[in-house]
Structure 1
C-alpha cells in the first residue's frame, strides 16, 4: 500500500511540474529500469521498426536506429551528436556498424545517462561515445562542431522542437545533416489533450503545444530554420501499426503474458487494458523520419 501511494505521488509530481524539461525527466524516471527491461537485451524507449510479425522488441529497436543512421547518411570518421539519447543503445549500435570518429550523446534524465556511461566504460569505448546530461535547446558545443545531429524518438518532448532545430543548425558544419525519428499528429487539428489512455498519457502532458503539428508543419519549420533538402516521410505502417499488434496481442494472450517477467506483465496488463481506446488514439498519430541539410 505504501509503495502504491509513493508511486501515485511521483506521478502527480511529474504531471504538475511546470518546467517542461523537468516534467519529461520525471516521467522517464518513473519506471524502474530493472523491471522495465527485464525481458529484453536492449533498453530502447521507442516504437521500433517492425520488419515482420516475428520481429522482437529488441530487433525493432535496432532496426529503427539503423534506419535513422541510413537516412542521415552516416559515414565512417564523422562527428555525431545524439540528442535525447536515453540509455544510448543506438549509440553503441552506430559505433559498431557506422564507425564514427566520436558520438556525443545527451539527455535530460540523469539515471539514463549514468547507465549509458557505465556501459561505455565497461565496453572500453568511453573515449569514442561520450554521454552527458543536457538539454536539446541549449547545446553546450561550439558552432560547426558536428557532421550529423540526430534525435531518435525524442524531439517531440523538446521545449521547443523549433529551438532544437536552430541549435542543431548552429552546431552542424556546412553540408551537415539533421535526422530525426519523431511522433507527430496525422492532423494538426487533433487536440493533444484528447489522448486519455494510460499508454499515451505522455503525449497529453509531456509534449509542448508548440510541437503539435503535422508533416507539412514539420517540413515548413525545418525550412524556416535555414535547412534545405528537407524530407519528412511517414513510416507509421512499419512502426505504430505492428507495434500495436505486438502489444495488444500480448495484452489478450494470458499464456504469452505468463512468460513475461512479473513487472513487465503487470505494466502490459495495466496500460493495455483498453486496446480499443489505444487503437483509436493511435489512428491519430503519425511516425516520421525527417532529414534536412545545412547548406554548404
Structure 2
C-alpha cells in the first residue's frame, strides 16, 4: 500500500510542475528500469516498427531506430546529434553498424544520460559517443557542426517543437538533414483531454498545446523554421497498429506475463483492462517519419 501511495504521489508531482522539461524528466523517472525491462534484452522506449512477423518490442524498437537511420541518410563519416535519446539504444545500434562516425546525445533525464554513458564505456564507444543533460530548445552546440540531427519518438515533448526545429537548423551544416520519428494527432482538432487512459495519458499531460497539429501543419512548421523539401509521411500502420496488437496479445497470454517482473505484470494487466478505450485513443494518433534539409 505504501508503494502505491508513493507512486501516485510521484505521478501527481510529475504533471503539476510548470516547467516543461522538468515535467518530461519526471514522467520518464516514474518507471523503475529493473521492472520495466525485466523481460527485455534492450532498453528501447519507443513504440516500435512492427514488420510482419515481428514478435517482440526489442526487435520492433531497433527496427524503428534503423528506419530513422534510413530516412536520415546516415553515412559512415557523419557526426550525428540525437535529441531525446532515451537510454541511447539506437545510438549504439548506429555505431555498431558503422552507420555513423560519432554521436552526440542530449537528454533532459539524468538517469538516461547516466545509463547511456555507462553503456558507452562498457562497449568501448567512449570516443565515439557523448551524452549530455540538456534541453532540445537550447542546444548547447556551435552553429553548423552536425551532418544530421535526429529525434526518435521524442520531439512531441519538446517545448515547443518549433523552437527545436530552429535550433536543429542552426547546428546543422549546410545541406544537413533533420529526421525524426514523431507522434502527432491524425487531426489537430482532437482535444488532448480525450486521452484518459493511464496508458496514453501522457498525450494529455506532457505534450505542449503548441505541438498538437497534423501532418500538413508539421510540414508548414519545417518550412517556417527555414528547412527545404519537408516530407512528413504517416507510418502508423507499422507503429501504432503493431504496438497495439503486441501489447493486447501479451495481456491475454498468462505464460508471457510470467516473464514480466511480478509488480510490473500486475500494473500492466490493470492498465490494459481499459483495452477498448485504449483502442479508441490509438485510433486518434498518427506516427510520422519526418525529413527536411538545411539549404
Scaled to the shorter chain, the TM-score interval is: over 0.9
Measure, in 1, the Cα distance between the counterparts of 2:268 and 2:142: 43
Q: Report matched runs for 1:242-281 at 5 Å.
A: 242-281=242-281
Equivalent-residue separation in structure 2 for 1:96 and 1:271 (angstroms): 36
User: How far, CA to CA, are the matches of 2:222 and 2:293 in structure 1?
Assistant: 9
Q: Does 1:13 align with 2:50?
A: no
Deviation digits for residues 130-158 of structure 1 (CA, Å, limit 9, x no counterpart): 10101100000000010000000000000
Q: Judge conservation of contact 1:157–1:208 (CA < 8 Å) in 2.
A: yes
Residue pair 2:185, 2:286 contacting (<8 A) in 1 also: yes
Once the two structures are TM-superposed, the CA of residue 270 in structure 1 deviates from its matched residue by 2.0
State the partner residue of 1:66: 66
Please provide the CA RMSD for this pair. 1.0
8 Å contact from structure 2 (residues 240, 282) kept in 1: yes
Q: Aligned residue for 1:34? A: 34
Task: State whether residues 247 and 268 of structure 1, in contact with CA within 8 Å, keep that contact through their aligned partners in structure 2.
Answer: no
C-alpha distance after superposition, 1:268-288 (max 9, x if no partner): 212211110000000000000
Residues 107-256 of structure 1 aligned to structure 2 (within 5 Å): 107-256=107-256
SS at match of 2:130: strand
CA distance in 2, matches of 1:99, 1:180: 17
* Per-residue Cα deviation, 1:59-117 (whole angstroms, up to 9, x for no partner): 00000000000000000111100000010000000011144221000100001110110
What is the CA-CA distance between 1:122 and the residue it aligns to? 1.1
* TM-score normalised to structure 1 length: 0.97
Q: Does 1:25 align with 2:25?
A: yes
Per the TM alignment, residue 193 of structure 1 is displaced from its structure 2 partner at its CA by 1.1
Residue in structure 2 matched with residue 43 of structure 1 by the alignment: 43
SS in 2 for 1:269: helix
Q: Is the 8 A contact 2:54 2:60 kept in 1?
A: no
> Which moves more between the two structures, 239-248 or 255-264?
255-264
- Count of matched residue positions in the alignment of Structure 1 and Structure 2: 295
SS in 2 for 1:178: strand
| Range 50-59 or range 231-240, more displaced | 50-59
Deviation at 1:266, TM superposition (A): 2.0
Q: Secondary structure at the match of 1:200?
A: coil
TM-score of the superposed pair, with normalisation by structure 2: 0.98
Give the Å deviation of 1:259: 3.4
Which runs of 5 or more residues in structure 1 are unaligned?
none
Distance of 1:2 and 1:178 partners within structure 2: 45
Q: How many angstroms does 1:253 deviate by?
A: 2.7
Runs of 4+ in structure 1 over 2 Å off: 252-256, 258-261
Identify the residue that residue 80 of structure 2 maps to in structure 1.
80
CA distance in 2 between partners of 1:73 and 1:4 (Å): 45
Q: How far is 1:3 from its partner?
A: 1.5
Give the distance between the partners of 1:163 and 1:172, measured in 2 at CA: 14
Q: Secondary structure of 2:199's match? A: helix
Q: Secondary structure at the match of 2:200?
A: helix
CA contact (8 A) 2:84 2:108 kept: yes
- Cα distance in 2 between the residues matched to 1:130 and 1:42: 20
CA–CA distance in structure 2, aligned partners of residues 242 and 139 of structure 1: 33
Residues 179-231 of structure 1: per-residue CA shift (max 9 Å, x gap): 00000000000001110000001110000000000000100000111111110
Q: Is the 8 A contact 1:36 1:263 kept in 2?
A: no
Give the secondary structure class of the aligned counterpart of 1:199: coil
**Residue 252 of structure 1, CA deviation:** 2.4
CA distance in 2, matches of 1:28, 1:144: 31
